Amino acid sequence: MNNPLVFLTKESSALWRVTLNNPPVNIFGPKTIPQLNEIISAIESDPQVKVVIFESAIDGFFLTHYDFLSAAEDTTSIPPGPTGLLAWPDMLVRLSRAPVVSIAKIRGRATGCGSELSLACDMRFASREKAILGHFEVGAGIVPGGGPMARLPRLMGRGRALEVLLGADDISGELAERYGYVNRSLPDAELDDFVESLANRIASFDKQALSETKRFADIASLPPDYELGAEMTVCNASIARPEAQRRIKLLLDRGLHKAGDVETRLGYHVGQLGCRNPV
């Protein structure tokens, strides 16, 4: 594969690892979609895999926002997936429903698309010192598109979900745990061992028992497809609006898409866009 941005490693037949690797800041875009889709399809169809860990190879960035420099048609030309949804929500829905346990190990920024991927996973564990979660999109004039409005209120309640979505600020790993955004935040030095131990423990159990138990939990907790499909449609329309284009351009002019302060503190910088005298 030319320019692989997502790597699949089979630690064993039962335990797989998906590593996100698009330096410098792990932006997600149309080139990533077919690569991740191939992996999601493998996860769905393999009869032996039981647990999949999602992690990053990029220091400070789990997965961030969509690629605003790519041509719109590069994304809109991608056909809907097997669920009938557009490609990104389709993959997230399929991951959530796959008969496999998915775990997001969050070290660095999981914002925008990174948050949406994490929310689609069955469990999320974060570095207390290094994880940042959140949705900056509203601050950039955009409606989030990968399901956070459908998923976050079910995890943390309506008020806290609206604080995250409408406040458009960065959420630390510690606060994410308090809000129910992640299962746990752990000291960074303990994160790897904890996730590996839990993943291996689950991978030692019977797959049918795991998948049937997960299926009943899904009935009680997962949003219906129509909620996620509508979000993506509105997201795409919002990006094209003049105000969103103006704000995206301001962010690009200040360093979006590049390693540096804007990407590292995106929640802060979107909060400055409407200020008369930004600091």
For residue 1, pLDDT over 70 is answered with no
**What is the average pLDDT across 24-32?**
96
Q: How many domains does the chain have?
A: 1
Residue 1 falls within a domain, yes or no? no
User: Where residue 44 sits, what CATH number does that domain have?
Assistant: 3.90.226.10
Closest CA to 258 of 68, 5, 35, 33: 68
In which band, very low, low, confident or very high, does the pLDDT at 76 lie, cut at 50, 70 and 90?
A: confident
Yes or no: say if 95 and 74 are a contact pair by the CB < 8 Å rule. Answer: no
Tell me the per-residue pLDDT of 219-249, one tens digit each, with 9 for 90 and over. Answer: 999 999 999 999 999 999 999 999 999 999 9
Residue 160 falls within a domain, yes or no? yes
Domain that holds residue 45: 6-190+221-272
Q: What are the beta bridge partners of residue 102? A: 52
**What is the average pLDDT across 98-104?**
98
In which band, very low, low, confident or very high, does the pLDDT at 277 lie, cut at 50, 70 and 90?
A: low
Closest CA to 181 of 138, 148, 218, 213: 148
**Annotated active-site positions, please?**
116, 137
Q: What percentage of the chain exceeds 90 in pLDDT? A: 94
**What is the average pLDDT across 115-136?**
98
The tokens of 263 are what?
A: 């990407």
Residue 207 falls within a domain, yes or no? no
Yes or no: say if 205 and 73 are a contact pair by the CB < 8 Å rule. Answer: no
pTM of the predicted model, to two decimals? 0.96
Residue 108 falls within a domain, yes or no? yes
Query: Dihedral through CA 241, CA 245, CA 251, CA 255, nearest 10?
Result: 140
The tokens of 19 are what?
A: 């590593």
For residue 80, pLDDT over 60 is answered with yes
Residue 212 falls within a domain, yes or no? no
Residue 141 falls within a domain, yes or no? yes
Tell me the per-residue pLDDT of 254-275, one tens digit each, with 9 for 90 and over. Answer: 999 999 999 999 999 999 998 6
Residue 201 falls within a domain, yes or no? no
Residue 216 falls within a domain, yes or no? no
